Amino acid sequence: MLILGVLDHKAQSNSNFEFAFSNFGLGGSLSNERGYIAMAALWISAILMVISAGLTVYVKLQQRAVKNYEFRVKAFYVAKAGANTMVFETNRGQTRYSNLNGINSLNNGKKDVKFGEGSYTATIEDEKSKANINTASEFLMRRMFEELGLKDAATKARGVMKWRREHGLLLHVEELGLVPELDVDDCFKIMPYFTVYSIGTPGSASVNVNTASLIVLKTQIEEFGGPPTLAPQLIQRRPFRDRGVWTFIQNRAPRMIQPNVNYFTYSAPVFRVRCTAILNDTIRVVVNTVVENWSENHEIIYMMDWWEE
């Protein structure tokens, strides 16, 4: 009986002891551990959800990139097909497209042409309607700059001459932007009137009177010592279809020497072909090439191979 009483007293003491510890927060370790485990599980779940969402977005972006690349490749070949169509069209009708009426009619017929899964718009431009920036004299550039409304045209013409002496020939008219004396607005004004693809020397048949602008014809004739009335007369009379253009010039500019008369031509265009392809209403690709046709249905020379804008 004494032993049982002692054991019962110890049991009550232990119970009171545990109760006291629990009141001081020392007996709830098991419940705290469960809370920590639950919190950790929630954090891990949240992290996994974020990772899963990130992977989903990444995969979708990669899929979209692959699809866009596929569309872009298709658009490139649509653009090249359209440009090739223009090249062979001009080769079949060189005389027809040696004047502005023919060029405009061809360009108007190649707008939003359906091809494959997309469409293209193709244009041609005669590079021989322009002055050659690599061979143009300082006088010619100054007069053209003045006609185009550039301020301090003489200084800017000398700047182009200096740049040519120091760096050689321009490979693209866009390189005019490297000339310190020319600002961005100047370049945008003058680039449509200059080229690097015609020969640009007397006797070379370098300016097509059927496609050249009044400014190009006027300043070129002025440099050759012709009368100022000749340029508007040429524009009013065109299109010329044969060698009669040289007789026309000689009769109105008898003091112009023969090599300078032969600088003008009625044909032999150098075409810059530009084709813009659209696919899936969002993908846009533009390709260019420059070709010279020696004669109808005969030879095409690619002066500048395909390049993409």
Would you state the structure tokens that stand for residue 245, as one six-digit string?
A: 């253009």
What per-residue confidence (pLDDT) applies to 30?
63
Q: What is the pLDDT of residues 242-281, one digit of tens each?
A: 899 999 999 999 999 999 999 999 987 899 999 999 998 8
- The model's pTM is 0.75
Residue 301 has pLDDT above 80, yes or no: no
pLDDT band at 166 (very low <50, low <70, confident <90, very high): very high
Strand ranges, E, within 40-158: 113-115, 118-126, 131-132
Residues contacting 228, CB < 8 A, separation 6+: 218, 221, 222
Partners of 300 in the β-ladder: 293
Helix (H/G/I), strand (E/B), else coil: 104? helix
Structural domain contains residue 248: yes
Residues shown for the chain: 309
Question: According to the model, what pLDDT value does residue 51 have?
Answer: 83
**Cα 48 to Cα 64: distance, rounded to the nearest angstrom:** 24
Comparing CA positions, the residue from 234, 241, 238 lying closest to residue 256 is 234
212 shares a domain with 246:
yes
The answer to whether position 42 is within a domain reads: no
Number of domains in the chain: 2
Confidence (pLDDT) at 13: 46
Does residue 40 lie in a domain region?
no
Of 231, 249, 265, the last residue of a domain is 265
Same domain, 261 and 276: no
Mean pLDDT to the nearest integer, 164-193: 93
Model pLDDT, residue 40: 78
pLDDT digits (tens, 9 = 90+) for 109-152: 999 999 988 999 999 999 999 999 999 999 999 999 999 999 99
197 and 107 in a common domain: no
Q: Which residue has the higher pLDDT, 80 or 269?
A: 80
Same-domain check for residues 161 and 249? yes
Show Cβ contacts of residue 123 under 8 Å, excluding neighbours closer than 6 positions.
Answer: 86, 107, 110, 273, 274, 275
Would residue 44 count as lying in a domain? no
186 lies in some domain:
yes
Straight-line distance from the first to the last Cα atom of the chain, in angstroms, rounded to the nearest whole number: 107
* pLDDT given for residue 306 in this prediction: 83
201 and 288 inside one domain: no
Q: Are residues 231 and 138 in the same domain?
A: yes
- Shared domain for 156 and 186, answered yes or no, is yes
Residues 220 and 281 in one domain: no
Q: Which of helix, strand or coil describes residue 136?
A: coil
pLDDT on residue 15:
47
Among 2-11, 21-30, 155-164, which stretch is predicted with the lowest mean pLDDT? 2-11
Q: 89 vs 43, 128, 212, 299, CA distance in Å?
A: 68, 18, 21, 13
Q: Is residue 23 part of a domain?
A: no
Instruction: Name the β-bridge partners of 302.
Output: 291
Q: Do the beta carbons of residue 172 and residue 196 sit within 8 Å?
A: yes
Give, for 157, the enclosing helix (H) or strand (E): helix 153-167
Q: Is residue 207 part of a domain?
A: yes
Please give the Cα distance from 215 to 218 (Å, whole number). Answer: 5
Q: What is the pLDDT of residue 36?
A: 76
- Judge if 227 and 142 occupy the same domain: yes
Least confident of 36-45, 160-169, 254-263: 36-45
Residues 260 and 274 in one domain: no
- Mean pLDDT (the chain, rounded): 84
DSSP symbol at 200: -
The 10s digit of each residue's pLDDT in 204-246 is: 778 999 999 999 999 999 999 999 999 999 999 999 988 999 9
Is pLDDT at 293 greater than 80 in this prediction? no
| Predicted pLDDT at 5 | 42
Mean pLDDT for the stretch of residues 13-36: 54
In a shared domain, residues 232 and 287 = no
Domain limits at 277? 88-128+269-308
Asked whether residue 176 falls in the same domain as residue 135, the answer is yes
Does residue 285 lie within any of the structural domains?
yes
- Where does the pLDDT of residue 2 fall: very low under 50, low under 70, confident under 90, or very high at 90 and above? very low
**Could you tell me which residue, 298 or 172, shows the higher pLDDT?**
172
| DSSP 8-state code for residue 213 | -
**107 or 4: whose pLDDT is higher?**
107
